Structure 1
Amino acid sequence: MKAITVVPGDPGQVRVEEVQDAKPAQGELLVEGLLLGLCGTDADIVEEGYGWVPPGQQRLLLGHESLGSVRDAPPGSGFAPGDLVAGIVRRPDPVPCEPCAHGSWDFCSNGRYTERGIKELDGYGSQLWRIEPEYAIKLDPRLGDCGVLLEPASVLAKAWEQIDRFVTRAPLRPKTVLVTGAGPIGLLAALMGAQRALDVHVLDVNGDEPKAQLVKDLGATFHVGSLDDAEVTPELIVDTTGHGPLVFDLTGKVAPSGVICLTGIASDSRRTPVPLDESNKEMVLENTVMFGSVNANRRNFEQAAEALADADLRWLRRLITRKVPLSGFTPEFLHKRPEDVKVVVDLQA
């Protein structure tokens, strides 16, 4: 079968090559890979050296945003041939630590977790892949290609689950959310905010289509420019940019007793002075919560599957703006064009 393999940190080593099918293990599903979503993590693996090859291997099979169709399923697995599925990314550490032992590997406390396509496990960027049933998520077949959005949606499902917990600390019902950044993560954050019947605002540095129209078609408000250009005082903020100076400015933007969720990580290592004392003062005096959220557990993947199934499929389809063939895959595909939202790889082309 064909697969995308890489050597982390060496863009010249990206290959589409014939690889041996993973050895079948008892009880695993055999899945025909349909689509593979690309994101900034993949670019960081290829170009910046983020990521770890599996022990004993020289190369990593890329890909963590998956979509496939079950080809073979063992009896009693809960799956059948033809089921549309996506794979969970993270696996618990072998010790395991207390969170991993309770199924919360997204809160792994010792860092010994593994991740498919990222950390010591081969990914989903192949024409066939195998997976344990407990790490596979069955999708509504109506989703079709949109099922490839499950992994990024799971990150937001976890973020919103945590936000929902934090807002219970004060007898205030949030009405407004500001999402900073209008990439795939930002748009999915906005979708889930709209599904909660919140007044959703999205801020981006530019007003390029189709992002602006996607936001408007959610019934949300699109703002372009700096934080000052978003003339709203939200009780909730979801940042998807990871831009350090902006993150600290958010403490002065959120309403009293507000919640700020950070989901982005910037690759830029430049140092920028920020008024930490002032930010600290604002957070203390206003009872502000700021927290980070990464990855997701099985419960969050299931929540994300429900959110996608409840969404307008015509809207979801517009998030996938470019489909590229596996046979012609190059590192260039890891970088979006101005009109791109989500780029996916057709694993059968």
Structure 2
Amino acid sequence: MFSCSSWWVGHRVGRSLVLDNRWKDKSVLALTITPGVANSLEVREVPAPSPEEGEVLVDALSVGLCGTDVEIVAGEFGAAPPGQDYLVLGHENLGRVAEAPAGSSLVAGDLVVGIVRRPDPVPCGACAAGEWDMCLNGRYTERGIKELDGFARQQWRADPEALVKLEPGLERVGVLLEPATVVAKAWEQIERIGRRAYFEPRTVAVTGAGPVGLLAALIGIQRGLEVHVYDLVTDGPKPALVRDLGAAYHTDSLQDSQVRPDVIIECTGVAPVILEAITGGGQNAITCLTGISGVGRKTPIDLGDLNRTAVLQNEVIFGTVNANKRHYTAAGAALAAADTSWLERLITRRVSIDNFRDAFDQQDDDVKVVLDFPEVQS
């Protein structure tokens, strides 16, 4: 392991970025894996971020962990940058600007989040239109996931347009922005689909009370809707988090609860739950799938009945993943409008980067686990 005094080698300065070669002789410590190799997680020295990676230098504050990170650590997913045999982990992120170019609207000390997905180099029509979350050819890159180093390192860089500035009051919870973008995008698409006809939703069902499900419920409450959240656990933080939002918490199934929602947001990726979600809506229901399922298991289904119900009830079922910049902006507004103390309770464990292995040791009461970095002293 290492001490906090050895962790940080950089310092923050309040001046415009000078693109010189001083970074070449420096290194930073980063949390890395070898793609495709299970349990290769380690902290290692890597070269300091090059100015070619972006004009803004950022000191890392936090990275959040999710199922994608677990899959990458297990060797099931992830791709290193070209010419590199390791990948710096971390896509859920929060940092503080150390250096920024003049005229960028960012200054040293600003709280920022880096956008995960970057457009493909061609680019395709969607990426060219700024809709890189809907990339058509799969040549996008993703920080900490696909061919771009992530944010779990002392310092990282990005261009100003790949950063979202947050309000200072979100310092303890801003790391939730990236998962919040998933449901900000989901709600945007639900609204767009709803405009196909008369749309006045009153009731929302959210399956799964993990971070994404809880944030989906939060936005539903902010929209003035009646929200029902479904999960299996009967104790721990989840029931109270849901009820303190003003939503209803269910441990029975959607079908058994007899709730007929106008909108369903599925956040588990569990096949039987997905099946119930896509068959449990009311007339003209819209069902959004955000959870990613494992493959290889078969779930019995009467496809004819599913088709008949969907057609006769004018239902829409769609999937969504990732987000573009306007979704980050919308998610930032949702976090800023939320009760910060409630958001802090959603982060159930904060682990120092010194003890990074503990963060991957799942505990029964975990909702969101966050790795914290010691902040650079001025």
1-side partners of 2:361 and 2:113: how far apart?
A: 23
Are 1:298 and 2:325 counterparts?
Answer: yes
State the number of aligned residues: 348
Whether the 8 Å contact between 1:208 and 1:338 is mirrored in structure 2 is no
Aligned-pair CA distance for 1:328: 2.2
Greater CA drift, 1-10 or 30-39: 1-10
Q: Secondary structure at the match of 2:39?
A: helix
1-side partners of 2:104 and 2:62: how far apart?
A: 23
Q: Secondary structure at the match of 1:287?
A: coil
C-alpha distance after superposition, 1:261-280 (max 9, x if no partner): 00000235322222222111
Partner of 1:39: 66
C-alpha distance after superposition, 1:123-156 (max 9, x if no partner): 0001111111100000011011200000000111
Are 1:70 and 2:70 counterparts?
Answer: no
- The change in CA–CA distance for 1:112 and 1:280 in structure 2 (over 3 A counts) is same
Partner of 1:336: 362
Partner of 1:276: 303
2-side partners of 1:306 and 1:142: how far apart?
A: 12
Structure 2: which amino acid aligns with 1:346? D
Partner of 1:104: 131
- The change in CA–CA distance for 1:98 and 1:144 in structure 2 (over 3 A counts) is same
Whether the 8 Å contact between 2:98 and 2:108 is mirrored in structure 1 is yes
Whether the 8 Å contact between 1:24 and 1:130 is mirrored in structure 2 is yes
Aligned-pair CA distance for 1:335: 4.7
2-side partners of 1:55 and 1:212: how far apart?
A: 45
Q: Secondary structure at the match of 2:49?
A: coil
1:181 to 208, 217, 232: 208
Greater CA drift, 102-111 or 164-173: 164-173
Moved over 6 A (4+): none
Partner of 1:19: 46
Q: Secondary structure at the match of 1:12?
A: coil
Q: Secondary structure at the match of 1:237?
A: strand
2-side partners of 1:253 and 1:276: how far apart?
A: 15
Whether the 8 Å contact between 2:78 and 2:145 is mirrored in structure 1 is yes
Q: Secondary structure at the match of 2:348?
A: strand
Partner of 2:4: none
2-side partners of 1:80 and 1:172: how far apart?
A: 43
Greater CA drift, 241-250 or 299-308: 241-250
Q: Residues 79-90 of structure 1 correspond to what in structure 2 (within 5 A)?
A: 79-90=106-117
Partner of 2:239: 212
1-side partners of 2:337 and 2:46: how far apart?
A: 38
Report which of the two structures shows the higher radius of gyration computed on alpha carbons.
2
C-alpha distance after superposition, 1:306-349 (max 9, x if no partner): 0000001111110111111112212x523531111100001228
Whether the 8 Å contact between 2:33 and 2:40 is mirrored in structure 1 is yes
C-alpha distance after superposition, 1:100-138 (max 9, x if no partner): 000000000000000000000000001111111100000
Q: Residues 162-311 of structure 1 correspond to what in structure 2 (within 5 A)?
A: 162-267=189-294, 269-311=296-338
Whether the 8 Å contact between 2:207 and 2:273 is mirrored in structure 1 is no
Partner of 1:134: 161
1-side partners of 2:298 and 2:219: how far apart?
A: 33
Q: Secondary structure at the match of 1:152?
A: helix
Are 1:145 and 2:172 counterparts?
Answer: yes
Q: Secondary structure at the match of 1:329?
A: helix
Structure 2: which amino acid aligns with 1:321? T
Structure 2: which amino acid aligns with 1:259? I
Partner of 2:57: 30
1:323 to 350, 356, 370: 350
2-side partners of 1:249 and 1:148: how far apart?
A: 31
Structure 1: which amino acid aligns with 2:193? F
Structure 2: which amino acid aligns with 1:3? A
Whether the 8 Å contact between 2:347 and 2:369 is mirrored in structure 1 is yes
Give the TM-score normalised by structure 1: 0.97
Aligned-pair CA distance for 1:285: 0.7
Aligned-pair CA distance for 1:26: 8.5
C-alpha distance after superposition, 1:45-79 (max 9, x if no partner): 11142111110000000000000000111101110
Gap runs ≥5 in structure 1: none
Structure 2: which amino acid aligns with 1:250? A
Indicate the percent of aligned positions where both proteins have the same amino acid: 53
2-side partners of 1:19 and 1:257: how far apart?
A: 53
Greater CA drift, 111-120 or 268-277: 268-277
Whether the 8 Å contact between 1:65 and 1:151 is mirrored in structure 2 is yes
Give the TM-score normalised by structure 2: 0.89
C-alpha distance after superposition, 1:142-183 (max 9, x if no partner): 011200000000111000000011112221311000000000
